[in-house]
Structure 1
Amino acid sequence: MKRLIIKIDRELCNGCGNCVTGCAEGAIQIIDGKAQLVKEQFCDGMGACIGTCPTGALTLEQREADAYDEHATNEHLKKIGRAPLLQEPIPPQTPPFSKPLGDHIHTHGHGAFQGCPGSAARSLKNTQNAEVATSTQGLPPKINNSELAQWPVQLHLVPVKADFFQDKELVVMSTCGPIASADIHWRFLRGRAVVVACPKLDRTDNYVEKLAAIFASNNIKKIITVRMTVPCCRGLTMMVQEAIAQSGVSIPHEETIMDLDGSIK
Structure 2
Amino acid sequence: MIRKIIRIDEEKCNGCGACADACHEGAIQMIGGKARLTREDYCDGLGDCLPACPANAITFEEREAPAYDQAAVKEHLAKTQNQWPVQLKLVPTQAPYFDDSDLLIAADCTAYAYADFHRQFSKNRITLIGCPKLDAVDYTEKLAEILKSNDIRSLTVVRMEVPCCGGIEYAAKEALKASGRSIPCQVVTIGINGTIL
TM-score interval, smaller chain: 0.5 to 0.7
Aligned to 1:228: 160
* Aligned-pair CA distance for 1:203: 2.5
Residue identity matched to 1:248: G
Query: What residue in structure 2 maps to residue 187 of structure 1?
Result: 120
Whether the aligned pair in 2 keeps the contact of 1:148 and 1:185 (CA below 8 Å) is no
- What pairs up with 1:1-265 in 2 under 5 angstroms? 149-205=82-138, 207-265=139-197
Task: Please list every run of 5 or more consecutive structure 1 residues that lacks an aligned counterpart in the other structure.
Answer: 1-146
- CA shift, 1:254, in A, is 0.3
Structure 2: gaps spanning 5 or more residues:
1-79
TM-score normalised over the length of structure 2: 0.57
Identical columns (%): 44
The CA RMSD measured in Å over matched residues stands at: 1.4
Structure 1 stretches of 4+ with a deviation exceeding 4 A read: none
Distance 1:184 1:252 in 2: 20
Asked whether the 8 Å contact 1:216–1:247 carries over to 2, the reply is yes
Maintained 8 Å contact 1:224/1:253: yes
Larger proportion of helix: 2
The answer (yes or no) to whether the contact 1:149–1:193 under 8 Å persists in 2 is: no
| Matches of 1:148 and 1:175, distance apart in 2 | 20
- 3-state SS of 2:127 partner: strand
Paired with 1:192 and 1:263, the residues of 2 have a C-alpha distance of 21
Q: How much does 1:148 deviate? A: 6.1
The one-character-per-residue Cα deviations of 1:80-118 (angstroms, maximum 9, x if unpaired) are xxxxxxxxxxxxxxxxxxxxxxxxxxxxxxxxxxxxxxx
The two structures have a TM-score, normalised by structure 1, of: 0.43
Q: Counterparts of 1:254 and 1:239 in 2: how far apart (Å)? A: 14
SS of the aligned residue for 2:176 comes to helix
Equivalent pair of 1:223/1:251 in contact (CA under 8 Å): yes
Looking at structure 1, the residues matched to 92 and 135 of structure 2 have their Cα atoms a distance apart, in angstroms, of: 17
Change in Cα spacing, 1:148 to 1:259, as seen in structure 2 (3 Å) is farther
Q: 1:182 to 1:149 in 2, by over 3 A?
A: farther
Q: Deviations over 1:57-94 (max 9, x none)?
A: xxxxxxxxxxxxxxxxxxxxxxxxxxxxxxxxxxxxxx
**Aligned partners of 2:101, 2:187: CA distance in 1, in Å?**
17
Matched AA of 1:260: I
For residue 179 of structure 1, report the CA deviation from its aligned partner: 1.2
